[in-house]
Structures are given as C-alpha cells and as structure tokens.
Amino acid sequence: MMTQLNIKDGLKAFGNKADEAILKEIKQIHTQQALMPRSRNNMSYEERKKALRYLMLLKEKRDGTIKARGCVDGRPQRIYTSKEDTSSPTMSIEAMMLSCAIDAK
C-alpha cells in the first residue's frame, strides 16, 4: 500500500485514475455544501491573511482504486484562535451511560 501523495505527485503516479478521484471528491464537497467559495476580490486583506489552505491528498487503496481526501491546513489558525476554542473535549463511557440512563428514566 502506498503512502498519501499530494496532487502533483499523485497525478504523475496514477494518471486518469487520479483525475477521476479528485473530481469525485470535489463533487461531493459541492453537493454537501461543505465549503462555500468566496471571491478573493470580495475579501479584506485580514480575511485573506486568515484564510486556511485546502489540501488534497491521493492514496491507492488495497483494492487498487484511488481515493482523494481533502482537508484544511489548520496550522495558521493557531495564531488567531485560543486553545480552549479549538479543543474537542471527550466524554467518558461511564458519564455517557449515566446520561443515557437518566434520559431513559
């Protein structure tokens, strides 16, 4: 199994299969309305500076198909966002079961 490749390297390695995978991923993002495009001309300098890059990686799955995966490069966001606002607290299983039991009662 291969490691994940950026688009440039993935297109060289996988050819038309990579094109199809990228198109499929972009269509899915559009259909789900996960990202809303904005014109650079309608953004202030500060907004452009804070904008996060969208990365797309390609990977060959075990069955030989090519999978494109998109993600946002959130590293620059650390400058503008506090740790408390970005944390994702988790709940213990015991607390969740207790909450479910109380709700069921």
Query: Within 13 Å and on the Cβ side, how many CA atoms surround 11?
Result: 6
* Per-position DSSP letters for 16-50, written without gaps between them: HHHHHHHHHHHHHHHHHT------GGGS-HHHHHH
- CA angle 36/38/41 to nearest 5° reads 180
Q: Walk along the chain (105 residues) in steps of 10 and give the mean pLDDT of each run.
A: 82 92 92 86 89 88 91 73 69 86 90
Query: Could you tell me the residue ranges of all domains in the chain?
Result: 5-104
**Cβ atoms of residues 97 and 48 within 8 Å:** no
Overall pTM surpassing 0.75 (yes/no)? no
